[in-house]
A and B are shown apart, each in its own frame.
Chain A
Amino acid sequence: AQSVTQPDIHITVSEGASLELRCNYSYGATPYLFWYVQSPGQGLQLLLKYFSGDTLVQGIKGFEAEFKRSQSSFNLRKPSVHWSDAAEYFCAVAHSSGTYKYIFGTGTRLKVLA
């Protein structure tokens, strides 16, 4: 069955520290991969996407993610976290043939210490 696993439910980092959020997927083919961020009471904002090509993708707000096919992973990174990055982060996958059905992980809640 297709699934997305985000192993860390909560992560706390200090402002200015580096960040890595983990995402592993189980899929029958090379998927499309996404990271979204959700602030309290808000919808989802797209941070970045991987469709094909360069496995290191750059997104908004200084985030990047690396697709590793051998590890079925798509981890999100940021070299220096800002207090405004505190939010919930969701990894999602979709079939690379093109589909509107996204499968989301359960999310990682990020807390940033001043």
Chain B
Amino acid sequence: DAGVTQSPTHLIKTRGQQVTLRCSPISGHKSVSWYQQVLGQGPQFIFQYYEKEERGRGNFPDRFSARQFPNYSSELNVNALLLGDSALYLCASSSSSNQPQHFGDGTRLSIL
């Protein structure tokens, strides 16, 4: 079975631009979570969606938004990009809150 897939793998943007990152969960998983991993740090929780509804939000500004589609795939949008948004963005899926999350390989976002 395919794991969590994310696209694109790498992305370069400039300050002020907008970006959309995509995630396809493991087949049968209805939950998708997004994390930001800045170089040298552990992942930080951004959002969690379950059955197309937002179930959790981390301490990130409103420039960050997400949604989940009927097929359980998800998009993370970031507006008005700042240099500090440069990071690895990880998507994780799970079949339920009592099962561990499985992570994709991430999207490396670089802001110039």
The distance from the CB of A98 to the nearest CB of chain B, in whole angstroms, is 3
42-99 of chain A: CB within 8 A of chain B: 42-46, 49, 51, 90, 92, 98-99
A42 surroundings in chain B (CB, below 8 A): 105-106
Separation of A19 and B51 alpha carbons in the complex (Å): 41
Per-position binary interface string of chain B over residues 72-112, scored 1 when its CB falls under 8 Å from any chain A CB and 0 otherwise? 00000000000000000010101011101111111010000
* B16 part of interface (Cβ distance < 8 Å): no
A100-B56, A104-B43, A106-B42 as given contacts; A49 in contact with B50, CB under 8 Å: no
A44-B90 CB under 8 A given contacts A100-B33, A102-B45, A103-B45: yes
B21 lies within 8 A of chain A by Cβ: no
A31 CB within 8 Å of chain B: no
Report the nearest A residue to B102, measured CB to CB. A46
Q: Which residues does A use to contact B, with CB under 8 Å?
A: 4, 34, 36, 41-46, 49, 51, 90, 92, 98-107
20 CB < 8 A contacts A-B: A34-B100, A41-B108, A43-B103, A43-B104, A43-B105, A44-B90, A44-B92, A44-B103, A45-B103, A46-B101, A90-B42, A98-B96, A99-B56, A100-B50, A100-B56, A100-B94, A101-B56, A102-B35, A102-B45, A103-B45
Q: A42-B106, A46-B102, A101-B56 are in contact. List 15 more A-B contacts (CB 8 A).
A: A4-B42, A43-B4, A46-B100, A46-B101, A49-B100, A90-B43, A100-B50, A100-B55, A100-B101, A102-B33, A102-B43, A103-B45, A104-B42, A106-B42, A107-B41
